[in-house]
Amino acid sequence: MQAIRSILVIVEANRTDDLALKRAKLIAGVAQSHLHLLVCDRKEDHAARLETLAGELQGEGYSVSTEQFWQDNLQQTIASVQQAEGCGLVIKQHVPDNPLKKALLTPDDWKILRHCPVPVLMVKSERPWTGGAVLAAVDVGNHDSEHRTLHASIINHGFDIARLAHGELHVLTAHPSPMLSAADPTFQLKDSIEARYRQQCQAFQQEYAIADDRLHIEEGPADVLIPYVAQQLGAVVTVIGTVARSGLSGALIGNTAEVVLDNLESDVLVLKPDAIMAQLEDLVAQR
């Protein structure tokens, strides 16, 4: 994260708490990143507010630019500005939809995670990051190169955040339940499954000095375990990733990230593989 030259900060038009801006200042203060403040609104004029925010930030020593823009919908607006400004990270305060609306329509924040070509930090909590636990969730059961690259990115970002916040990095990987009918005897017993997964974690454990007590290998579905372990640790940030499949799904995020976004109490950083980001960049450029 220290290589991020510019951060796109979504300023909510009708909110005054500016949680996203607080996180952006924390990261920019260490990474020396430029902050581009964006209000996504086509109706009211927010120039005065943006000017005030910019003046305050410049007075604190930050490099700042501002913009009010709207294009078709929220996710397209954010993706277009991100591409135009060359921002390497998008930070937005998470706004959960009510359950009835979510049952009928895809939430805007889910769409942003699907379509944004760069990592997205969804801010959910006012809790300071300093001294807190950072949870990186990986799926070491998948061995293809795309997953391995994504795992490395998740742990690297988690390590950077833990170092930035003077916190402690924890890593979680979920494994399936034993099946006596499994063709591979390894997956017939819980102990042998856990041993296999622990072996898959040894390389990054050594690289990032992750002790065994900070490696959590748990049985069950990831979308249940990630919020549970994050709550047990009191995590301030959870880092997760997604690998899309082929065809149309290549532009879509897996639903685990979407489900845990609403269930987590921590801030959430969502990453995608480089190939998917490149594909999304092409889609944004075509509009």
Report the first-to-last Cα separation within the chain, whole angstroms: 29
Residue 157 pLDDT greater than 50, yes or no: yes
The whole-angstrom separation of Cα 268 and Cα 18 is 16
Give per-residue pLDDT as tens, 70-100. 999 999 999 999 999 999 999 999 987 666 6
Residue 172 pLDDT greater than 60, yes or no: yes
Q: What is the pLDDT of residue 35?
A: 98
> Where in the chain are the domains?
6-123, 133-285
pLDDT, the chain, mean: 86
Q: State the amino acid at position 54 in one-letter form.
A: A
- Please answer whether residues 141 and 219 qualify as being in contact, where contact means their C-beta atoms are separated by less than 8 angstroms: no
The whole-angstrom separation of Cα 262 and Cα 215 is 24
Residue 115 vs residue 237, higher pLDDT: 237
Please check whether the two domains, 6-123 and 133-285, share a CATH topology: yes
The CB-based long-range contact list for 256-262 (8 Å cut-off, 24+ gap) reads: 256/222, 256/223, 256/226, 257/113, 258/107, 258/110, 258/113, 259/223, 260/222, 260/223, 260/226, 260/227, 261/94, 261/109, 261/110, 261/113, 261/122, 262/96, 262/102, 262/107
Q: What is the pLDDT of residue 110?
A: 85
Strands 168-175 and 34-40: unpaired
Which CATH fold would you assign to the domain 6-123? Rossmann fold (3.40.50)
Its pTM stands at 0.89
- Please answer whether residues 214 and 171 qualify as being in contact, where contact means their C-beta atoms are separated by less than 8 angstroms: yes
Reading the block at residue 268, the tokens are 């959430």
Residue 246 pLDDT greater than 60, yes or no: no
Q: Which of 79, 18, 12, 74 is nearest to 46 (CA)?
A: 12
Cβ neighbourhood burial of 202 (10 Å; 0-12, 13-18, 19+) = exposed
- Please answer whether residues 43 and 50 qualify as being in contact, where contact means their C-beta atoms are separated by less than 8 angstroms: no
Q: What is the pLDDT of residue 104?
A: 64
Q: What is the pLDDT of residue 250?
A: 37
CATH code of 133-285, in short, is 3.40.50.12370
Give per-residue pLDDT as tens, 61-78. 999 999 999 999 999 999
